[in-house]
Amino acid sequence: MRVGAQQGDSKESVWIAELVRTARATVPFYCKHLAGVEASDLASLPTFDKSMTVGHGRFPISAGGAPGAHRVIATSGTSGDRMYLSFDQSEWNRTADWLARAGGAGGLSPNDVLINTHCYGLWVGGPTLDLLANRIGAGLVPLGPTGPATILQLLADGVGSAISATPSYLRRLIEAAHAASFDLRRTPLRMGFIGAEGAESSLRRKLLAQLPSGFQWIELYGLSETAGPSVAFAPDPEVPELELNTDAFWLEVLHPSQDRVMPTGEVGVLTITTRRTDGRTPLIRYRTRDLVRAVAGPAEAPTRISRILGRVDDSLKIGGVLVYPSAIAEIMSETLPATCEWRALVRRWDEDDELLVETEASVDLCRVVERAFRDRVGASLTVTTVDAGSLARSREKTQRILIESRTSVGIRDRRSNTDGGRF
């Protein structure tokens, strides 16, 4: 893997200057954001996030919009206005190259058949996982997020040695298999390309226990803004780290509120700059809002990061204690069976947050969760039980934490906690 060169090298200076010049000349947002900037190193460039692109049109960071694009996709809109993005053939090919590398590392070959359950339409997940299978030459079943019964029938017929899915969909498939007394461990499945939302280590272990022995869980990471899961992947499912695509991107881990690099091992915001200057959608110090730690490579250009730890804007203050939703999810997944759903409502007040949790678990397990939360987080939590099957199952990403902002004059807004800008 290429280790990022030190900023300030002549080669890096030429690349950065050309990127800034091209972006400013062709992309509406950068024309204003980088006005007057004459920089030869990234550290002197301003950062931005999605919220700053509002008011710059439907395609704020894509040159030319839709006309002439090879592919148009869009963000989900769950954390703000939907952003449309356009990519040319070269950008799409670079995503395919990286996915072929991830698939090859997991052992996907032309002898395999991939069942693709990611979304199509404007979403990037389905089309890019098709790319992975096509580039390697594997067979492809492009189902999208269909009902689990279809997949169980395919597997019963011996069709499908690999699957692409969100962790939520994998949970749903396992739940359906249990209900049908169908043993997934006796199927030909041997690997999965899992992404688009996070999965705690405890949840992965529980799901893997219901899948064939030796099943390879290959985590993929990327954004709509990067043409899908082209940023990182986990080459070893036993190691909680992601290998970064340093050929296509310059990655930084920056302080949550300041434009400075965090030391290796400390939590910061993953920030992305595209290394190529010939694409339609350049990113220049784009703050993903995903929290990570750099774990390998130089601090200013890491080659590996931790798995995603949470979102910079999702920290909660419960009983005076700072908590990230990922900590809630970890406790729930450790304590509950893999097929047991749960939901949390955070009522965000001016000075503190109230956390209410519902789960399909027994009353006894609810008390276990409460004790674990008190012991590990240091705050009290009330968990109530609901009927089995009463909480909705998702074919896509499951939004288990709903955040409701309130003030002394009433509810201000209501939004779902999402797992970052993953594809």
Residue 30 φ/ψ, nearest 5 degrees: -70, -25
pLDDT in 10s for each residue of the chain, 423 residues: 333 444 445 667 888 989 999 999 999 899 999 988 877 788 889 999 998 998 899 999 999 999 999 999 998 755 557 899 999 999 999 999 999 999 988 899 999 999 999 888 888 989 999 999 999 999 999 998 888 999 999 999 999 999 998 888 888 899 899 989 999 999 999 999 987 776 666 677 788 889 999 898 888 999 999 999 999 998 776 778 899 999 999 999 999 889 999 999 999 999 999 998 888 999 999 999 899 999 999 999 999 999 888 777 666 667 666 676 667 777 887 788 877 888 887 776 656 677 788 888 888 888 888 888 877 777 777 888 888 877 776 655 666 777 666 544 444 444 444 444 466
Tokens of 342: 């749960």
Domain boundaries, the chain: 10-87+241-306, 92-223, 311-416
Cα 96 from Cα 86, distance rounded (Å): 16
Strand extents, DSSP E, 61-107: 71-74, 84-87
Task: Report strand pairing: 216-223 vs 342-348.
Answer: unpaired
Task: Report strand pairing: 286-296 vs 310-311.
Answer: antiparallel
Cα 301 from Cα 109, distance rounded (Å): 32
Considering Cα of 97, then 101, then 103, then 109, what sign does the dihedral take? positive
* CATH level 2 (architecture), domain 10-87+241-306: 3-Layer(aba) Sandwich (3.40)
CATH number (1.10.240.10, 3.30.1490.20, 3.30.300.30, 3.40.50.2300) of 311-416 reads: 3.30.300.30
At 387 the pLDDT is 85
Same fold for the domain at 92-223 and the one at 311-416? no
Cα 13 from Cα 283, distance rounded (Å): 16
Give the burial class of 293: count Cβ atoms within 10 A of its Cβ; 0-12 exposed, 13-18 middle, 19 or more buried. Answer: buried
Give the burial class of 74: count Cβ atoms within 10 A of its Cβ; 0-12 exposed, 13-18 middle, 19 or more buried. Answer: middle
At 331 the pLDDT is 82
Alpha helices in 240-349 (DSSP H): 325-335
Give the burial class of 19: count Cβ atoms within 10 A of its Cβ; 0-12 exposed, 13-18 middle, 19 or more buried. Answer: buried
Tokens of 305: 């990061």
Give the burial class of 1: count Cβ atoms within 10 A of its Cβ; 0-12 exposed, 13-18 middle, 19 or more buried. Answer: exposed
Q: At what angle do helices 363-377 and 325-335 cross, to 10 degrees?
A: 140
Cα 34 from Cα 47, distance rounded (Å): 10
Are 145 and 119 spatial neighbours (Cβ–Cβ below 8 Å)?
yes
Domain 92-223 has CATH 3.40.50.12780: yes
Nearest Cα to Cα of residue 214 among 338, 107, 96:
107
Cα 220 from Cα 245, distance rounded (Å): 11
pTM score over 0.85: no
Residue entry with tokens 């004059």: 409
The DSSP line for 344-386 is: EEEEE-SS-EEEEEEESS-HHHHHHHHHHHHHHHSS--EEEE-
Is 213 strand, coil or helix?
coil
| Per-position b or e across 45-61, b if 16+ CB within 10 A of its CB | bebbbbebbeebeebbb
